Amino acid sequence: MKKIHVPVLLQETIDSLNINPEGFYIDCTLGDGGHSFEIFKKLSPNGLLISIDQDQHAIDFVKEYYKDEIKENWVIEKSNFAKISEIASKHARKPDGIIMDLGISSRQLEESYDRGFSYLEENEPLDMRMDEELGVKAKDLLVVLPEKELTKLFTIYGEEKFARKIASEIKKRITHINTVGDLTRLVYRVVPAAHQSSKNPSRRVFQALRIAVNDELNSLKQGLDNSFEILNINGRISVITFHSLEDRIVKDYFNNLVDSGKGVLLYENVIAPTDNEIRENPRSASAKLRTIVKIK
């Protein structure tokens, strides 16, 4: 087994937590375990790390890859981080640091297990569920939602300029749209060539569908609320975002905590990847790290 996902802003994120070897930390987005393992290495046997992921494939990978390192004080839970309060309540202590590395991992893009996360995997079905126990798939949304609602979904979650035209064509041809390739070819036909950059024009549609299927933005809002509520005084929450929708939620939430006197920002400006990191890991280019410190 080999690691695929390269943790973004790894050292910056670890530094932001100011890790106490005997502290309690929660990684809300386990992925390939990069951030989690760096935290765990800094903990004494009295420290505690809980890593959460809703993707069973990610959990299976980490448990196998780190099987010689995992000890009793590294607990891995399958769940959505919106339920962080319930998970943390199993332990008689409050977390000193919580991290969220949002979005989709490189493993989910490159080894999606036929879930169709990547618009490059033409033969995969339109699934997009991170947790395969969820009931609704991306194709279900395309079938069930009326054209008006699909347009709204692509506009709000994908910030797609041609949302209405794309939604209209999808509803006209829905019986012929079953795979990633079916959908990407439709988007290519609809989006004018003058508006097609070097990036695949269907990327915004895929983002919108993935966010909707996994209820990502509502989970983020709930996860932030619950995380701050259970956090120790002087504890820290560090969040890495990758697109404007989730970053706006985090920025506004942290600013509200500052305005209410409950928290202070660790960094005046967002922390972004260095040019060197972007060269080595192009997927890190849009990443932003924000950290809040709880003061009451």
More confident of the two residues 1 and 5 = 5
DSSP result, 203-242? HHHHHHHHHHHHTHHHHHHHHHHHHHHHPPTT-EEEEEE-
Closest CA to 288 of 242, 236, 226, 245: 242
Separation CA 266–CA 290 (nearest Å): 8
Please check whether residue 263 is in contact with residue 233, taking contact to mean a CB–CB distance below 8 angstroms. no
* 223 marked ligand binding residue: no
* 101 marked ligand binding residue: yes
* Weakest mean pLDDT among 16-20, 115-119, 191-195: 191-195
Per-residue confidence (pLDDT) for residue 2, from 0 to 100: 59
The tens digit of pLDDT for each residue in 34-74 reads: 999 999 999 999 999 999 999 999 999 999 999 999 999 99
Per-residue confidence (pLDDT) for residue 3, from 0 to 100: 55
Please check whether residue 8 is in contact with residue 104, taking contact to mean a CB–CB distance below 8 angstroms. no
Q: Specify the pTM.
A: 0.94
More confident of the two residues 236 and 281 = 236
* 33 marked ligand binding residue: yes
**Residue range 10-33: average pLDDT?**
97
Question: How much of the chain exceeds pLDDT 90, in percent?
Answer: 88
Q: What angle do CA 180, 183, 186 make, to 5 degrees?
A: 145
DSSP result, 60-118? HHHHHHTTTT--TTEEEEES-GGGHHHHHTTSSS--SEEEEE-S--HHHHHS-SS---S
For residue 138, pLDDT beyond 60: yes
Residue at 191: amino acid letter: V
Token pair of 255 as six digits: 């600013």
Tell me the C-alpha to C-alpha distance, in Å, between residue 186 and each of 118, 152, 242: 16, 18, 26
**Residue range 283-292: average pLDDT?**
95
Task: For the chain, state the CA radius of gyration.
Answer: 20
Separation CA 75–CA 229 (nearest Å): 21
For residue 194, pLDDT beyond 80: no
**How much is the mean pLDDT over the chain?**
94
199 falls in which pLDDT band (50, 70, 90)?
Answer: confident
* 81 marked ligand binding residue: yes
The tens digit of pLDDT for each residue in 204-217 reads: 999 999 999 999 99
Residues 6+ apart with CB under 8 A from 19: 25, 39, 42, 43, 97
Q: Using CA atoms in the order 113, 119, 125, 126, what is the torsion angle rounded to 10 degrees?
A: 110
**Residue range 162-189: average pLDDT?**
96
Domains contained in the chain, CATH given: 10-108+217-294 (3.40.50.150), 111-214 (1.10.150.170)
For residue 154, pLDDT beyond 60: yes
Separation CA 21–CA 50 (nearest Å): 14
For residue 197, pLDDT beyond 80: no
For residue 198, pLDDT beyond 80: no
The tens digit of pLDDT for each residue in 80-116 reads: 999 999 999 999 999 999 999 998 887 888 887 899 9
Per-residue confidence (pLDDT) for residue 256, from 0 to 100: 98
Separation CA 227–CA 110 (nearest Å): 30
Q: Using CA atoms in the order 172, 133, 84, 113, what is the torsion angle rounded to 10 degrees?
A: -80
* 182 marked ligand binding residue: no
Please check whether residue 209 is in contact with residue 187, taking contact to mean a CB–CB distance below 8 angstroms. no
